[in-house]
Structure 1
């Protein structure tokens, strides 16, 4: 099982603060059945350029890999394998951004895209269509559930009609009221997938495993396996779904 939206790299953003926290979060992922993790620290184009971000990401990864290498072999054996990505904050003219190639999930041409929390403009949807028309990079819309109560319903529908992968946060399946809405959404047949968007050990912890179990109870293991397989696909293939 792949968790493709995580903030586990130490000291990169508002996620894990140190290597010890990163390692414990990885152990939690493994215990829940996750054997592959994509590290997706926040990238804000208005705060730093891509080269600076990539340098910080390499340094954070190096610290984590060094700490992991010093663990006993039996402890290293129960850590998921990991790959790099980013959670890319919305920026204008996405279709013209060559730097997206360095921010994709793993070796794929999919990238995790965080949309604005301020009211969406029609121009944003138009630019997403433009991006898809170029055919080089495919957005995975991050945590749709965080936009439900912030954007107009018709704008959410416009987004869904794009036909791109949509990530839902595992946490919404673990709460009664948000679970009902999430299950209705999942039954629509869109290209949905689940990820934890984990940030720490206690507040927004790794929780993909429990969410998949809830999904299996509600919609069956076939649907649960489908969502898990989609996460694997979009983070490892250079093709459209």
Structure 2
């Protein structure tokens, strides 16, 4: 093809690519965590691996809604435990629903700081200030073993799910011992909802072997690739 000399031409190879801007970088007890801005998106990176960003939030909303929908209809203002603060979508959606007490357990101090007075406060600020919300800075497994609180539902949005963990030690949360901790804080008939970046039939079997009932998986369509999913299970009454 001949390009007329009077028509400007820009090769796609020369189209500028926006470089992510690192807003904060911390070395915590579980490795490096980074908050960066890429265009309009805020992204959380853990130990060099992308975890999540502010692009959508559908899967976080489904996580919370699926847990609420699986509860008996007679539970008004049920209490919720959210494992992982992330970019705040799960908390924000929970505050906008009919949940009662909402406890969020987040082990990375950096993530909590980004929400309290950092760039993520624009997303979660009002939800953190809601009187129903309590943020606990702790490892979730430790909290499950030590707390005396009980909940109607537990929503886990930790790492990339049971089949693909980034941070060493997170896989134990999805083990029989970790699931026993979840069951311990659930009231009879309570719901466990687990977000995952990919389906895991093996994890469904682990849930059943741990004593959970009504185990099922809901898919969340994505633009390309394997769908995200939410694994649901109920503690026997």
Which is greater in Rg?
A: 2
Larger RCO, structure (CA 8 Å, separation 6 or more): 1
Higher strand share: 2
User: TM-score, normalized by length of structure 2?
Assistant: 0.33
